Amino acid sequence: MYLEKLSLTDFRSYAQVDLSLEPGVTVLVGSNGIGKTNLMEAIGYLATLNSHRVSTDAPLLRFGAERAMIRAKLVRGEQSTVLELEINAGRANRGRINRSNPVRARDLLGICQTVLFAPEDLALVKGDPSSRRRFLDELLVSLMPRHAATRSDYDRVLKQRNALLKSARAGKFSTGHEATLDVWDQHMARAGAELLHARLELVDRLQPHLKNAYAQLTDGSKEATAVYRSTLQDSLDDDGATSRPAESGPADGAGAVTGSDAGAAAPVEDLRLLSVEQLTDRYIQAFAAARRKELERGISLVGPHRDELELVLGSAPAKGYASHGETWSMCLSLRLASYYVMLDDARTGGSPPILILDDVFAELDVQRRRKLAAIVSGAEQVLVTAAVEDDIPSELTGRRVKVIPGGIDEQGNR
């Protein structure tokens, strides 16, 4: 797919800006602070309803404005779609598709698909686990918009359950309340199982692409892997030997007896092989085992909100061990892997996502620049920003657009 038009009203630094775009590569050049990222952020927001820079909407509204508008014309194959998104201060955002009646903003998810690379991506490796969970969930929602509801259901239940645990900790909890907690356990187990199931499946899809992308960007001496570490698995492992009946056949058990700590280790269950229903059961079991600790601490300790996507280079975790260059290669590889997963989807009926590279070339050495440019140059639409044109490798030939204060220099385009 590609964007043919982008118009912004009262978005960030723009009172009004209209940008015409074409398929292929477009490089937007302009000095720092001129508004390049603001344009890219708007496209990313239209795709994911999230900004890659801020976690609330307020900074997206132009100083003093009550609402901002993002309008875009998107072309997918023969079909074109007009998307409008109204970002409101103090009330729900609204969308419109092909000038329809207003719909929930959430109904726009999955229509415009983008993969955005930005300097903030360093947090994928260096940041806390929430950055990586967010990476997974955002991709999940892009691929399967119904999971936006999975996410918000889970967040809602988690909040309520935490409130209950917190009041229990404050001593306002009697045994009668245990029944209420049981009910929340059921809700959270179900919502958590849906989310976990979807994330595990997604990590399996990402894995081969991550490995390939990393090999392409580097000399191939180290292998990149991503391992999903779930608090559910930890809880079951801790608890497994004592309270969980062995579910595997007797032959497996017999095999385990040869180990040094034979008898203690129950066979580890591969959560990826379980259905949503089975995962729900496991969560109920894990919540029961964690109940006492959770009541003491006043928070939910087990669930997808505490899981981690561990990134590994060779045999060491990327976080804390990878060099600056390796860290960048890992971040780029995660984004490229998302792109390839979306592309796989596109082959079965969708349309390739739009690639956005906001100010990333300035961060990379010459080798990585050239390799990245070679990989992305074939995408249906690639939007690149740079303060200095020389940072863009010659492999990335395409239209150049000059960004000037408040808008685009139409004369300067070539």
Ligand X SMILES: Nc1ncnc2c1ncn2[C@@H]1O[C@H](COP(=O)(O)OP(=O)(O)O)[C@@H](O)[C@H]1O
Interface with ligand X (CB under 6 A): 12-13, 30, 32-38, 59, 61-63
Residues 63-77: b if buried by 16+ CB within 10 A, e if exposed? eebebbbbbbbbbbe
Kindly state the tokens that stand for 42: 């708007």
- Tell me: does residue 51 bind Mg ion (CB under 5 A): no
336-365 binders of Mg ion (CB under 5 A) = 359
Q: How many helices (H) and strands (E) does the chain have?
A: 10, 15
Q: Are 280 and 189 in contact (CB under 8 A)?
A: yes
Q: Answer with the entry of ligand X, Mg ion, none that 34 interacts with (C-beta below 5 to 8 A by kind).
A: ligand X
Least distance (Å) between residue 359 CB and Mg ion: 5
**Min separation Cβ 42 and Mg ion, Å:** 13
Q: Which does 377 bind (CB under 5 to 8 A by kind): Mg ion, ligand X, none?
A: none
38's contact among ligand X, Mg ion, none, with CB below 5 to 8 A by partner kind, is ligand X
Query: Please, which residue, 37 or 333, has the CB nearer to ligand X?
Result: 37
> Which of the listed partners (ligand X, Mg ion, none) does 12 bind, with a CB threshold of 5 to 8 Å by partner kind?
ligand X
Minimum CB separation of residue 60 from ligand X in Å reads 6
**In whole angstroms, what is the distance from residue 3 CA to residue 73 CA?**
6
- Number of residues engaging Mg ion in binding (CB under 5 A): 2
What residue type is assigned to position 216 of the chain? Answer: Q
Shortest separation between residue 284's beta carbon and ligand X, angstroms: 46
| Residue 408 backbone phi and psi in degrees, to 5 | -120, 140
Sheet holding 407-409, edge to edge: 114-117, 354-358, 381-386, 24-29, 399-404, 407-409
Quote the least distance from Cβ 17 to ligand X, whole Å: 11
Partner interacting with residue 110 (select from Mg ion, ligand X, none; CB below 5-8 Å by kind): none
Within 8 A by CB and 6+ apart from 178, the residues are: none
Minimum gap (Å) between residue 406 Cβ and ligand X: 11
**Out of 3, 8, 17, 37, which residue is the one contacting Mg ion (CB under 5 A)?**
37
Choose between 264 and 388: whose C-beta lies nearer to ligand X.
Answer: 388
Our finding on whether 300 is near Mg ion (CB under 5 A) is no
Specify the residue, 12 or 369, whose C-beta has the smaller distance to ligand X.
12
Residue nearest to Mg ion (CB): 37
CA–CA separation, 275 and 413 (whole Å): 54
Least distance in Å: CB of 38 to Mg ion?
8
Q: Tell me the C-alpha distance between 399 and 6, whole Å.
A: 16
Between 36 and 133, name the residue whose CB sits nearer to ligand X: 36
33 binds, among Mg ion, ligand X, none (CB under 5 to 8 A by kind): ligand X
Q: Are 392 and 19 in contact (CB under 8 A)?
A: no
The helix or strand, by DSSP H or E, that contains position 374, with its residue range, turns out to be helix 366-376
Instruction: Show the beta-strand stretches assigned E in 160-258.
Output: 224-229
Q: Which two tokens stand for residue 83?
A: 């998307």
Structure-token pair, residue 408: 């685009």
Residues forming contacts to Mg ion in the complex (CB under 5 A) are: 37, 359
